[in-house]
Amino acid sequence: MPESPIRKLVPYAEKAYKQGKTVYHLNIGQPDIKTPQVALDAIKNCSLETIAYSRSEGSEAYREKLANYYKNQAIFVNHDDIIVTTGGSEALLFAFGSVMDIDDEVIIPEPFYANYNGFSTASGINIVPVISKFEDNFALPPIEEFEKLITPKTKAILICNPGNPTGYLYSKEEIEKLARIVKKHDIFLIADEVYREFAYDGLKHHSILADFGLEENAIVIDSVSKRYSMCGARIGCLVSKNKEVIATALKFAQARLSPPTLAQIAAEAALETPQSYFDEVIEEYVDRRNTLIEGLKKIEGVQVAKPNGAFYCIVQLPIKNSDHFAKWLLESFDVNGETIMVAPAAGFYSTPGVGLNQIRIAYVLKKESLIKAMHLLEKALQVYKD
């Protein structure tokens, strides 16, 4: 089981805390945005006398409201096309288990969310990476590169859209290319769409469950974690119009009994969040992104791929090993008792030796903190020795 490149440095951060240091966390996508009040009130005002199991597929009331949410996103599904899961993580495990057997393969553009490695290991399947290039801003690799990798063991292509760790937002044309290849080879297209709302610069998110003719081939992974700043609620879902996929995933859902009852109440209430909440959040993240990119571009030897979605970016540093650099930042570096914590990007690749000089930054801190963090990064690079 692989270590998380995001969480494996926690002991070093805890040691830095004990030394009295302030650590600016650029390493993890934990938003500081407040959870919608309507969700918090639903928990506060809950009148349940017994917190009982829910249905294995999630409460019908919540799934019906979810279907209505998707309808407003031009994604037309019914409540019985949805299985509520314990976070998007479990939805991915259910998807892998439902459409793949031991030693089957899933093609994933890399860099990708590091825990895909863990999910594939747990499911006994193999990731086949296709590299998306920093120089191309991590756009979809040529479709011919996917075609070369498809074998009888290939059961799916997985994308994250918008992307973690790159922030890349796939265009409609790119989704259409993927739709054609999965239909041609009769495999699945799995899309992790948990950052759907986070699309910037007037660009639009295109769900694979929209009008791409993928009724039998599309599986969407979703979650309340980022959309409503409810990471700790652990409520996600798997969505597919393929009835066999849903029936199979339900067996996995039954085996773990049910998703969290109380958190479903909060997630259901969160669906009443007004659009003004999202408008303010998007404006805040665009401001933070611009602040971060502007700060990074001022640092000598640093390059950054500009993200158009989510709240991450990949940064290329003038160093040889970002894993060593990340530990050094916490163990040996500070300016007036302050330092930063970053995520080494090599852990977001499965191809050995790729991304060694890159880090992922999550711009989930306030502007003032991001400005301080960029100042610290600049100072660190001036004194760091590989």
Q: Which residue has the tokens 């070093």?
A: 12
C-beta of residue 104 within 8 angstroms of C-beta of residue 159: no
pTM: 0.96
Each residue's pLDDT tens digit, 138-161: 999 999 999 999 999 999 999 999
Each residue's pLDDT tens digit, 271-321: 999 999 999 999 999 999 999 999 999 999 999 999 999 999 999 999 999
Q: How confident is the model at residue 21 (pLDDT cuts 50, 70, 90)?
A: very high
C-beta of residue 239 within 8 angstroms of C-beta of residue 348: no
Average pLDDT, integer, range 63-90: 97
Four-way CATH pick for 37-270: 3.40.225.10, 3.40.640.10, 3.30.390.30, 3.20.20.80: 3.40.640.10
Q: Which residue has the tokens 């899309």?
A: 191
Sheet with strand 343-344: strands edge to edge: 303-304, 312-316, 358-362, 343-344
In the CATH scheme, what is the code of domain 10-34+276-383? Answer: 3.90.1150.10
* 138 CB-near residues (< 8 Å, 6+ apart): 109, 111, 132, 163, 166, 168, 305, 314
| DSSP H helix total and E strand total for the chain | 12, 13
Each residue's pLDDT tens digit, 164-198: 999 999 999 999 999 999 999 999 999 999 999 99
DSSP strands (E only) in 217-333: 218-223, 236-239, 303-304, 312-316
Each residue's pLDDT tens digit, 38-70: 999 999 999 999 999 999 999 999 999 999 999
- Exposed/middle/buried for 185, CB within 10 Å: 0-12, 13-18, 19+? middle
Encoded amino acid at 217, one letter: N
What are the Cα distances from residue 221, in Å, to 18, 19, 22, 150, 194? 39, 41, 36, 22, 7
What are the Cα distances from residue 189, in Å, to 213, 219, 226, 305, 340? 12, 6, 22, 25, 37
Each residue's pLDDT tens digit, 195-254: 999 999 999 999 999 999 999 999 999 999 999 999 999 999 999 999 999 999 999 999
* Per-domain residue ranges of the chain: 10-34+276-383, 37-270
| Per-residue pLDDT at 194 | 98
